[in-house]
Amino acid sequence: MTKLKAKLQDDLTAAIKARDELRSATLRLTLTAIHKEEVAGTEARVLSDGEVEKIIAREAKKRREAAEAFDKGGRADAAERERAEGEVLAGYLPKPLTDDELERLVAAAVAEAKEAGAEGPRAMGAVMKIVNPQVAGRADGGRVAAAVKKLLAG
């Protein structure tokens, strides 16, 4: 069992003992998603901490999207619950990049791509290849792409 998954299990046990319904329900759903991923395919496997982190990020994104949908549907109570679950999951993810940190990473990647011969808006793929591993799990892909487009355009 990976370190992160073990931490989730331990925190689930603590939440159950503390009768923290929100935290225990959120961790149960997340551990179920992890387990489904482990047994998916032809052979069961143990996920790495990076893979577990990606699953937690995916679950957190689901909560954000559900909260937005509930807000649009006029269900503030359900939206608030989804946001609270998202905050629980955010505690297990690396700290997100600030706009300045993201811009610095993208600027360095653009400079590296230009040295390799990539120019203008066509260099987007090359820059994304360089910057994606550096920001994995710490910035949304759309946000990264927008920063890359901004720097390549101007």
At 105-130, the pLDDT tens digits run 888 888 887 777 767 667 777 788 88
How many alpha carbons lie under 13 Å from residue 2 in its C-beta half-sphere? 16
Q: How far apart are CA 108 and CA 95, in angstroms?
A: 21
Tokens of 142: 């759309």
**C-alpha dist (Å) from residue 13 to 36, 59, 109:** 20, 20, 43
pTM over 0.85: no
45-57 pLDDT per residue, tens: 888 888 898 899 8
Residues 6+ apart with CB under 8 A from 14: none
